[in-house]
Amino acid sequence: MSADRKPVALVTGAADGIGWAIARRFAAAGCRVALADLAEERVRERAWELGREHLALAADVAEEAAVVRMVGGTLEHFGRLDMLVNNAGIGDPQRPTLEQDAATFDRILAVHLRGTFTASREAARAMAESGGGAILNLASIAGLTGLPRRNAYGAAKAGIVAMTRGMACEWAGQGIRVNAIAPGYVRTALVAKLEAEGRLDGARIRRRIPMGRLAEPEELAEAAWFLCSPAASYVTGTVLSVDGGWMAFGDSGDASAG
């Protein structure tokens, strides 16, 4: 396939964790990838590592103007946009709700929810003009079920689930599919930091997962690629749990014991 006919994918939060695994997977599938991240230097290194035909973009997805520049920069460089992965995210400090401050709450919502909204809006304009595309949002089990001390993160992820369904219905006529994946616990820096700070009990979490282990970022990337690829041409508005069975488990005690 000639370079200018290869699909173009924009992945936010692509400098690390799940986003970096998604960028690699999409590139391996033959996409030209725009890797966007707040971590400017690291995302430049990542794009360089991936190869010359890919692009690094510095962007804070919580800032509307930065998101407009991010999507505009992708279109300017590649001339098209076929896939958007709204992956950029931050953890919740997991304070008791009674101790949560509004500024932290607002920042978490701005990164996850407003970032997903503005990036999707900008991308969908371009996709509608070129005949369609695919948008994939990173939700979480925290948006599907009740997790204590995740008041902002859980609300943001539940909002992303609602937005996924709404946008899927709104843009289906323009050939734009919108889906989400809801990871359980994934072995990334985000989770390692929570565990190191004693805010997450890794052993207890593993016992709660029927498969008895955390996901590897690459396992999320496979699901992301499926939902954005032509293999999922009739799939829109869906939220795919990729959680080792977390959402399926309704008993008490040790889920991995069977």
- Number of Cβ within a 10 Å radius of residue 240: 18
Residue 133 CB burial class (10 angstroms; 0-12, 13-18, ≥19): buried
User: End-to-end alpha-carbon separation of the chain, Å?
Assistant: 47
**How is the chain split among helix, strand and coil, in percent rounded to 5?**
55, 15, 30
Candidates 74, 188, 236, 241; binder of ligand NAD (CB under 6 A) is 188
Q: Is the dihedral of CA 60, 65, 71, 75 positive or negative?
A: negative
Lay out the site mask for ligand NAD across 91-130 (x = CB under 6 A, - = otherwise). Answer: --------------------x-------------------
Q: Which is nearer to ligand NAD, 55 or 191 (CB)?
A: 191
**Shortest Å, Cβ 64 to ligand NAD:** 12
Candidates 6, 9, 17, 133; binder of ligand NAD (CB under 6 A) is 17
Give residue number: closest CB to ligand NAD: 17
Largest Cα–Cα separation, the chain: 57
Choose the stretch contacting ligand NAD; rule: CB under 6 A; options: 17-25, 117-125, 200-208, 226-234.
17-25
Q: d(Cα 145, Cα 157) in Å, to the nearest integer?
A: 10
Lay out the site mask for ligand NAD across 193-232 (x = CB under 6 A, - = otherwise). Answer: ----------------------------------------
As given in the structure block, the two tokens for residue 256 are 């991995």
Phi first, then psi: give them for residue 35, nearest 5 degrees. Answer: -100, 120
Choose the stretch contacting ligand NAD; rule: CB under 6 A; options: 25-33, 34-42, 94-102, 203-211.
34-42
Determine the 3-state secondary structure of 127 from DSSP: helix
- Identify the residue whose tokens are 């400098």: 15
Let me know if 234 is a catalytic residue: no
**Shortest Å, Cβ 106 to ligand NAD:** 13
Q: Is 246 in the site for ligand NAD (CB under 6 A)?
A: no
Task: Please name every residue paired with 215 in a beta bridge, in sequence order, or none if there are none.
Answer: 186
Angle at 238 between CA 235 and CA 243, to 5 degrees: 120
Lay out the site mask for ligand NAD across 55-94 (x = CB under 6 A, - = otherwise). Answer: ----xxxx------------------------xxxx----
Q: Which is nearer to ligand NAD, 16 or 29 (CB)?
A: 16
Q: Which is nearer to ligand NAD, 19 or 133 (CB)?
A: 19
- Identify the residue whose tokens are 């692009």: 55
As given in the structure block, the two tokens for residue 236 are 């829109």
Catalytic residue among 153, 171, 225, 246: 153
Q: Which is nearer to ligand NAD, 126 or 180 (CB)?
A: 180
Chain contacts with ligand NAD (rule: CB under 6 A): 12-13, 15-19, 37-39, 59-62, 87-90, 111, 138, 140, 183, 185-186, 188-191
